[in-house]
Amino acid sequence: MASSMLLPLCSTCGKTPSFTPPRGISVDKLRRLVLNVKSSEKTEYTAMFNTNSRRDFLGLALGVSGLFIHSLDAAYGAGLPPEEKPKLCDDTCEKELENVPMVTTESGLQYKDIKVGQGPSPPVGFQVAANYVAMVPSGQIFDSSLEKGQLYIFRVGSGQVIKGLDEGILSMKVGGKRRLYIPGSLAFPKGLTSAPGRPRVAPSSPVVFDVSLEYIPGLELEDE
């Protein structure tokens, strides 16, 4: 009957099931057969574990490293503010500069005095010590003595710097600060290549220099 194949619920609970081996097979022989099967299964499972574990471990390591790199890229790419570079003219200075009259020279150089100095002006051929911040018209800095942490010393009016910077400093006084709007004809004829964090300067394109004339070494010695 079909119902004889079904057992009442929990009819074997608490009892140890009995097993009668088929005729012609001893209990010892059957036990050895079961042990062999278990042994082969264990070997197979061990091999599968070793293969899969190496593969899984490698995948896990690559996944974790990828996640770490991605998190760093996100932090440095979008999460951190850009580095603030030192300037000769801060935000307050920029607002005040809007009301300063523009001076235009015969060469096409234009400038605004941020601060008029009280000392002497440099004669042609004298060395000067100055700080500068060089920018493209958009305001991006491409060179700066402030970032280098040292004054820029050169012989003014001798062609050691671009023409616009030479002309602009010659009429300054020691202690003064000036913004120079240098036209392309007085700037870099060959341009400047870009660098990490630095914009490219196209050949003969206009540039802007903030300059402070710190002192004139040779002239100070003569005054003494």
Banded model confidence at residue 15, pLDDT cuts 50, 70, 90: very low
Reported confidence tier of residue 197, pLDDT bands at 50, 70, 90: confident
> How much is the average pLDDT of 155-182?
97
Predicted confidence at residue 85, as pLDDT, reads 87
Burial status of residue 196 (CB atoms within 10 A of its CB: 0-12, 13-18, 19 or more): exposed
Q: How far apart are CA 61 and CA 54, in angstroms?
A: 10
pLDDT of residue 78: 40
Q: What is the mean pLDDT of the chain?
A: 76
Interval 204-220: pLDDT, tens: 999 999 999 999 997 76
pLDDT confidence tier of residue 36, bands split at 50, 70 and 90: low
Please give the full DSSP string across 10-37, using - where no structure is assigned: TTTTT-PPP--PPTT--HHHHHHHHHHH
Q: Is the pLDDT of residue 25 over 90?
A: no
pLDDT (0 to 100) of residue 37 = 45
Tens of pLDDT, residue by residue over 50-91, are 544 445 544 544 444 443 344 434 434 344 344 578 999 999
Predicted local confidence at residue 26, as pLDDT: 55
Which residue do the tokens 């209990």 mark?
27
Residue with tokens 């003494």: 224
Mean pLDDT of 6-20: 42
- Whether 31 has a pLDDT exceeding 60, the answer reads no
